[in-house]
A and B are shown apart, each in its own frame.
Chain A
Amino acid sequence: MSVIPEGWEAVIGIETHVELQTRSKMFCGCRVDFGDDPNTAVCPVCLALPGALPVANEAAIDGIVRIGTALDCTINERSLFYRKNYFYPDLPKNYQISQYTYPVCEHGRIVVDVDGEPTVIGITRVHMEEDTGKSLHMGEGGRIQDADHTLLDFNRAGVPLVEIVTEPDIRTPDQARAYGAELQRIVRTLGVSDARLEEGSMRFDANISVRRTGTSELGTRTEIKNVNSLRSMQRAIAFEIERQIEVLATGGTVIQETRHWNETTGRTTAMRSKEESEDYRYFQEPDLLPLFIDEQWRDRVKASMPELPAQLRARLVAAGADERTAGLLADSPLLAGLFDAAVRAGAEAKTVASWLTGEVVAYARRVGTTVDELSLTAEHLVELAAMVAEGELSATAAKQVLAGVLAGEGGPRQVAETMDLLQISDSGAIEAVVADVLGEHPDALEKIRSGDSKPIGFLVGQVMRATGGKADPKMVQEIIRRSAGR
């Protein structure tokens, strides 16, 4: 990723929209289902037929309170809905019910970690609104300007949408990406949304300006839209910072505008200038009453909070995983759950963590599935770890066994037996083999007795060969030494 040149600083704020996966829409009873045929999940309310009225969905309000609580926000006891007025064909009422003053949540924070450096990013507000329909512009370019006709699908119109706005606390593209990733993890952990960027259930807009280091005045900002992955957000921001610095360094001025990120060209281009920006004529939505979220509601949500990604990572570290591994585990609720259960049942933390983030992830990638699809259980991990601890399996053999378990060949012991990988840990059996080998190599035995330990390795190798590699080499070595009286 590009590095910001010496003497310059970027100021970045991010607005995130998250679609809540509630059963019904924000203001009507229509189902939220993106697999439906166009315009089948609609009713008089979300089509804005004359006379239809909105009624707020309590489950969606609960969802935003959960998000706000997870982001350490103040949850306002009384918040208000507003109308944001603008004309657009996929906005059925030609106003969006949103919030303005008194959003549901304010003054939160999120801590992100970039290269081991924690950064606090302030959350200005988290507010509730509704999604628009989808426009399908038919014809050249796929944009409204060059379309010869447009198809509209209102299934998405009225889906609950939560907007999360940060303070301009972000300074680098890496931090922006880390913020996006952490927010996505939080939302997923809460179970309020699948937060998929490719499918638009989570969407980022970034506001970017640059200034000379040491100045506190904000530069003119641009807003970047159409970033469909965390990586493209990072790239788009890096490009935009570079572009703005270039403009300013050559004596130009940055124009306040909305810019469109083009993934293919890797550039942002101007969409519309903010000088001709719309006046949204916000006013309080008269069809809805003020929203009251009492202490009981706030407490109920607080009590039902799941373990958040940051808490989970801290706990994984405390359990013995290193920071990086903890981060990897925390990204997958399934891996974290397996780790948790296995460690709680007595498995060695480091070993289990390394299997999960190593063999398990690699296996899933190799066979083209996600870890969630694997049939691995915590019991498997506990059993496998115990076999290693007992000396029944070598570290290398354990990985082979794990691969077999992942391939569905059975439990660890069963797989180890089938693959004939169990170590001989019966000292009597090993002693017999050692005695045989020593008998065959009396000169080597003599050398050891006289203080030269070099032949030990050779003798261990002979024993291992005689046992087909199944003897525990440590135990073999010990018996040889004992037999030589050392």
Chain B
Amino acid sequence: MTDLADLSIADAGRGLRAGEFTAQDLLEATWRRAAVTEAHLHAYLVLDRDGARRAAVRADEELAAGTDRGPLHGIPLALKDNLSTRGIETTCASQILAGYTPPYDATAVGRLRDAGAVIVGKTNLDEFAMGSSTENSAYGPTRNPWDTDRVPGGSSGGSAAVVAAGSAFAALGSDTGGSIRQPAALTGLVGVKPTYGLVSRYGLVAFASSLDQIGPLARSVPDAVDVLTAIAGWDRHDATSYPGDVPDMGRSLDAGVQGVRIGVVSELMGEGIAPEVLSATVATVERLAAAGAEIVDVSMPSTEYALSAYYLIAPAECSSNLARFDGVRYGLRVDGGTVEEMMARTRAEGFGPEVIRRILLGTYALSAGYYDAFYGQAQKVRTLVRRDFAAAYEQVDVLVSPTSPTTAFRIGERSDDPIAMYYSDVCTIPSNLAGDPAISVPVALDGAGLPIGFQVMAPQLGEEMMFRVAAEVERSAGFSFRAPLATSEVTEP
């Protein structure tokens, strides 16, 4: 019999409503799984046992009374620890926020609660979401459930690991340059970065405000649609949130791709992409063609500069966003002789090396005399990227590429080489710069048995088409492997 922890959200929901099991059973199964896998993965930073229990009990009561809050009602979900949770410590995997407990819920978190979801806990990340491996956590790295010697990707590596291991049915992550899609690719999950503004950022601890988006990591495209639908929509607390009606994103999951025009981004299909990743991508495109899609090669020359532009814009915004962590009002305070000294010491001791590197980079990029050459220039590249995308979407409905240039790499492999690490996001960054939605769908395993992700990009608010194509990718790939660690059987760490 299937372990409850491995059910899809849809199957769990059916079972709940059929009375086969309860929300408390689902939560117990999740905890049992976590008890086994956490010793290997270190993916959760906090398990909110009391809160989760209360939510599960309430879900059971409500469902029994006929109050149905929809597909997430009673479903155990996890949250990346850069999402503010009322009453639950939120550290962003940084020493500087050790002990900080927000007095409010992020809008996306509140919406999950309103949808009846059971919040299991908070997951590990690269400190302040800066990284592509979840090694930059002040509380230690998270490991990949497919191979615990390897990274789960990042920065939403904790969320990826718990969903892949079955210690949550789905999770929220945040994606600034690929931080949802890349870990999804490296752990065999579906990961979505929605259109900028579709999900309110209120309560998401900001890394780079003009790029950050909250989105789901899930075990299937339909599961991802359910989670995204619950959190999407205008929020009066976020001036950049999309004010219109949210499109019905799951409407065309079964529509197939007959006649859909799919552009393959030539610049992301060559140098720097691992051969096995490349061949899996080509094979996926061929299956889409076989399903009736019209395949077009599309050139996006600006992608060559996108990475450099990103590594100026994101640090610049981060240098300002992270200025508030100064020891004055909350979090860590390291005393000093003067206020300035206290602030400087707090920041020097509270931030990890990658965060400090990016703050310095960003401060420099915004400095008088350098602004035009760096930040100003990067903004111009951003405009070019947007223009490239806009031009491409005149010819095609979606664009496709690999999600990550490689499969999961070994822990420590890129730690000393920030540039190699930054290159992990080469395929995902353009969508963030453009503000467009993109999704990663698992399509194959490489020779080492590690998952390979396939990226589908769409124009702004093109989620319905994006999910339609993603669903076909998922069906045609027949990817049904489970992470070897996704088991409730006790094993020695």
Binding site for B on A (CB under 8 A): 44, 47-56, 83, 85, 87, 89, 92-95, 144, 150, 152, 279, 281-283, 286-289
Q: A145 — nearest CB in chain B belongs to which residue?
A: B338
Please state if A92 and B240 are interface contacts (CB–CB under 8 Å).
no
B contact residues around A95 at 8 Å (CB): 320, 323
Which segment of B14-22, B70-78, B97-105 sits at the interface?
A: B97-105
Which B161-220 residues have C-beta < 8 A from chain A? 201-206, 208-210
Please state if B90 and A50 are interface contacts (CB–CB under 8 Å).
yes
A contact residues around B319 at 8 Å (CB): 85, 281
Please state if A94 and B324 are interface contacts (CB–CB under 8 Å).
yes
- Provide the bound-state CA to CA distance between A87 and B328, in Å: 11
B contact residues around A49 at 8 Å (CB): 84, 102-104, 329-330
Please state if B202 and A51 are interface contacts (CB–CB under 8 Å).
yes
Given A53-B202, A95-B320, 15 additional A-B pairs, CB 8 A: A49-B84, A49-B104, A50-B97, A50-B100, A51-B201, A54-B239, A56-B239, A93-B324, A94-B323, A95-B323, A282-B366, A283-B366, A286-B208, A287-B209, A288-B240
- A50's partner among B92, B237, B316, B367 (CB-CB below 8 A) is B92
- Provide the bound-state CA to CA distance between A144 and B343, in Å: 15
Binding site for A on B (CB under 8 A): 82-84, 90, 92, 97, 100, 102-104, 106, 201-206, 208-210, 236-240, 316-317, 319-320, 323-326, 328-330, 339-340, 343, 363, 366-368, 371, 375
Complex A-B: 18 CB contacts under 8 Å:
A50-B325, A51-B82, A51-B84, A51-B102, A51-B206, A52-B203, A54-B239, A55-B236, A85-B320, A87-B340, A93-B324, A94-B324, A95-B320, A150-B339, A281-B320, A281-B367, A286-B210, A287-B206
B contact residues around A281 at 8 Å (CB): 319-320, 363, 366-368, 371
Q: How far is the CB of A214 from chain B (nearest CB, A)?
A: 34
Please state if B375 and A283 are interface contacts (CB–CB under 8 Å).
yes
A contact residues around B326 at 8 Å (CB): 87, 89, 94
Q: How far is the CB of A54 from chain B (nearest CB, A)?
A: 7
- Provide the bound-state CA to CA distance between A48 and B326, in Å: 11
B contact residues around A94 at 8 Å (CB): 323-324, 326
Q: How far is the CB of B446 from chain A (nearest CB, A)?
A: 37
Once A48-B329, A50-B100 are accepted as A-B contacts, the answer to whether A288 and B239 lie under 8 Å apart by CB is yes
Q: A28 — nearest CB in chain B belongs to which residue?
A: B237
Please state if A89 and B240 are interface contacts (CB–CB under 8 Å).
no
- Provide the bound-state CA to CA distance between A56 and B238, in Å: 10
Please state if B324 and A48 are interface contacts (CB–CB under 8 Å).
yes
A contact residues around B209 at 8 Å (CB): 286-287
B contact residues around A53 at 8 Å (CB): 201-202, 237-239
- Provide the bound-state CA to CA distance between A54 and B325, in Å: 17
- Provide the bound-state CA to CA distance between A52 and B375, in Å: 24
B contact residues around A288 at 8 Å (CB): 239-240
- Provide the bound-state CA to CA distance between A48 and B100, in Å: 13
Interface of A, secondary structure class, is: loop
- Provide the bound-state CA to CA distance between A47 and B84, in Å: 15
Please state if B328 and A89 are interface contacts (CB–CB under 8 Å).
yes
Please state if A55 and B239 are interface contacts (CB–CB under 8 Å).
yes
Please state if B323 and A51 are interface contacts (CB–CB under 8 Å).
no
Q: How far is the CB of A63 from chain B (nearest CB, A)?
A: 19
Please state if B239 and A289 are interface contacts (CB–CB under 8 Å).
yes
Q: How far is the CB of B164 from chain A (nearest CB, A)?
A: 26
- Provide the bound-state CA to CA distance between A315 and B108, in Å: 58
A contact residues around B204 at 8 Å (CB): 51
Please state if B323 and A85 are interface contacts (CB–CB under 8 Å).
yes
- Provide the bound-state CA to CA distance between A56 and B90, in Å: 27
- Provide the bound-state CA to CA distance between A56 and B202, in Å: 14
Q: A281 — nearest CB in chain B belongs to which residue?
A: B366
- Provide the bound-state CA to CA distance between A56 and B367, in Å: 27
Please state if B323 and A93 are interface contacts (CB–CB under 8 Å).
yes
B contact residues around A47 at 8 Å (CB): 329
B contact residues around A152 at 8 Å (CB): 328
B contact residues around A44 at 8 Å (CB): 102-104
A contact residues around B339 at 8 Å (CB): 89, 144, 150
Q: How far is the CB of A478 from chain B (nearest CB, A)?
A: 79
- Provide the bound-state CA to CA distance between A56 and B329, in Å: 24
Q: How far is the CB of A2 from chain B (nearest CB, A)?
A: 38
A contact residues around B203 at 8 Å (CB): 51-52
Q: How far is the CB of B111 from chain A (nearest CB, A)?
A: 15
Q: B323 — nearest CB in chain A belongs to which residue?
A: A94
B contact residues around A50 at 8 Å (CB): 84, 90, 92, 97, 100, 102, 205-206, 324-325
Q: B317 — nearest CB in chain A belongs to which residue?
A: A286
- Provide the bound-state CA to CA distance between A277 and B319, in Å: 19
B contact residues around A286 at 8 Å (CB): 208-210, 240, 317
- Provide the bound-state CA to CA distance between A279 and B370, in Å: 11
Q: How far is the CB of A175 from chain B (nearest CB, A)?
A: 33
- Provide the bound-state CA to CA distance between A286 and B371, in Å: 16
Please state if B202 and A52 are interface contacts (CB–CB under 8 Å).
yes
A contact residues around B329 at 8 Å (CB): 47-49, 92
Q: A147 — nearest CB in chain B belongs to which residue?
A: B339
A contact residues around B375 at 8 Å (CB): 283
Q: How far is the CB of B214 from chain A (nearest CB, A)?
A: 11
Q: How far is the CB of B95 from chain A (nearest CB, A)?
A: 14
Q: How far is the CB of A52 from chain B (nearest CB, A)?
A: 7
B contact residues around A55 at 8 Å (CB): 236-239
